[in-house]
Amino acid sequence: MATRCSSKAALPLWHRLSRIFLCLAGLILSVYALYVEHMKERNDGYTAMCDVNDEISCSKVFTSKYGKGFGLVGPILGEDSPLNFPNSIFGIVFYFLQFTLGQIHTVDAVWGLIFLSVCSIFGCIYLAYILMFVLQDACIVCISTYIVNALLLVLNVLKLNVVKRLSIKKRK
C-alpha cells in the first residue's frame, strides 16, 4: 500500500515551482516543435526562429525521418502507421504526465515519475547521437528539451528522498 505524504506543503516551494516551470517549458518547446514541423510541411520555404544556419536548424531535424517515431516506428510498422507520429507528441504527453503525476505524493507515484524520466533520458541520448553524428546538426529546441528532461530527473530523485523521509516519519 502506498504511503502518502502528509501534504504537498511538505515539499519545498522551490520544488513545486521548479516542476511547474520545467513542465511548462518542456510543453512550450514540444508544441513549438510540432508547430515548426507542421509549418515546414505546409510551406517548404518556411524559416523557423530556431533555424540559425545550415548547421543549426531545428526544422531540418523535425522534418527528418528521425522526427517521427524516433526514426524507428516507420521502418518497423510502416510510415503510414498510426503510431508513427511526431516526437513532439511524445514530449507533450511526457510533460503532461510529469506535471500530473508530480501532484501525487506517494512513493509509487514518484517511482513512476523516475521511470518516465529515465525513459526520456534514454530517448534524449539516442536523439542527441542522431543529431550530432547522423544529421550533423545542432537543434536549439532539442538541446533545450534534453536539459529540461535531465532537470526533471534530478527533481524527481529529490522528490523521492523527501517523500520517503516523510512516509518513514509518518509511520513512526
- 113-122: b or e for each residue (b if 16 or more CB lie within 10 Å)? bbebbeebee
Domains delineated in the chain: 14-46+65-171 (1.20.1440.130)
Reported as a single tens digit per residue, the pLDDT across 78-135 is 999 988 999 999 999 999 999 999 999 999 999 999 999 999 999 999 999 999 999 9
Q: What does residue 61 show for φ and ψ, rounded to 5 degrees?
A: -70, -50
**Residue 76 to residue 98: CA distance in whole angstroms:** 28
At 44-63, the pLDDT tens digits run: 999 999 999 989 999 999 99
pLDDT at 14: 93
pLDDT score for 6: 47
Are 50 and 139 contacting, i.e. CB atoms less than 8 angstroms apart? Answer: yes
Q: How do residues 119-135 score in pLDDT, each as one tens digit?
A: 999 999 999 999 999 99
68 pLDDT above the threshold of 90: yes
The model's pLDDT over 6-47, given as tens digits with 9 standing for 90+, comes to: 455 578 899 999 999 999 999 999 999 999 999 999 999 999
Q: What is the pLDDT of residue 11?
A: 85
Query: Which value, to the nearest 10 degrees, does the dihedral of the CA atoms of residues 85, 90, 133, 79 take?
Result: -10
Name the one residue in this structure whose C-alpha cell is 518497423: 76
* pLDDT tens, residue by residue, 130-157: 999 999 999 999 999 999 999 999 999 9
What is the pLDDT at residue 168? Answer: 74
